[in-house]
Amino acid sequence: MEIYFLGTNAGVPTLQRNVTSVALRLLEERRSFWMFDCGEGTQHQVLRSPLRLGKLEKLFITHLHGDHLFGLPGLLSSRGYQGGTGPLTVYGPLGLKAYLDISLSVSQSRIPYPLEIVEHSGGLIFEDDGFKVEAGLLEHRIDSYGYRVTEKDSPGNLNKELLLSYGLKPGPLYGLLKKGQDVTTGEGVLIRAAEVVNAPKRGRIVTVLGDTRPCQGTLPLALDADLIIHEATFGHDLKEMAHQYHHSTARQAAELARDAGGRELLLTHFSSRYTTQEELLPLLAEAQEIFPQTLLAEEFCTFPVYRRTQGNDPGK
């Protein structure tokens, strides 16, 4: 599981950074990726990345401001030309369907794959055997949502050395044991699953927050997350401006990560006043004073999502 940034700027694209879009790559789990937000020019960013639109399975829009949305019609249209034949589901706030219906219909865009648009007002919006996704309302000028992606726990590994000592070689009974079922060998030896299966692997939690002021809605989404992606439009010296425009500072993002017991924080959605990565270093420093496990998002860079093992302290 990896995070890959396609755009990290707020408001408008610059020569250095494109507007917001981030991919969650589910490599072993699903051999696909999910996308969060799709600002103008995102499909151009995809062409410069290792991502392939044909592997895009789900797309989540945090809110309907242009820097998070204007790239969506073009990307949906191009997906069919780039080998995308499988179904795609797009989730977002009320108004998303009207926007896409008009954009695609007026431009007579052809979508040659099953496209589902799901409008929501928060809560559990997706669940299958491997993952669930919950959304929560934040505080912005328009309805803006954060998303909490929870990977479900997976069965622990078999203690193969112990099984071999019982005379049980790899085969169908291994599968039954991993499912938690006790088995009996051909020699009549009872093997209890609880004795030969290690503890389950804790699923990872990734929280992606849309544009927001500090608010009560962020904490439930970020609680105990392995990775929190949070906007840091301004440095804390501009906290009044951040409040006025319904955004957050880097320090405020770090305070949330600390209070939520998060493991790692990635800052993104930077104001155009910070033109280079070096100019963002003061934002990183102020965040790390509060929450040391903080990194700056950078386009075309991969950030692994590490699994917190049993007994890990938050932030370790």
The sign of the dihedral angle between the CA atoms of 117, 2, 314, 179 is: positive
Cα 212 to Cα 90: distance, rounded to the nearest angstrom: 21
| DSSP, residue by residue, 71-94 | THHHHHHHHHHTT--S-EEEEEST
Cα–Cα distance between 263 and 286 in angstroms, integer?
A: 18
Whether 153 is catalytic is no
From 67, 128, 224, 259, active-site residue: 67
Task: State yes or no: 67 annotated in a binding site.
Answer: yes
Closest CA to 290 of 265, 271, 268, 316: 265
The rounded distance, in Å, linking the Cα atoms of 292 and 150 is 24
* Coil, strand or helix at 149: strand
Q: Sign (positive/negative) of CA torsion 18, 20, 91, 305?
A: positive
User: Does the annotation list 65 as a binding residue?
Assistant: yes
Q: Summarize the annotated binding site as residue ranges.
A: 63, 65, 67-68, 140, 211, 269
Query: Binding site for Zn(2+): residue ranges?
Result: 63, 65, 67-68, 140, 211, 269
| Active-site annotation, residues | 67
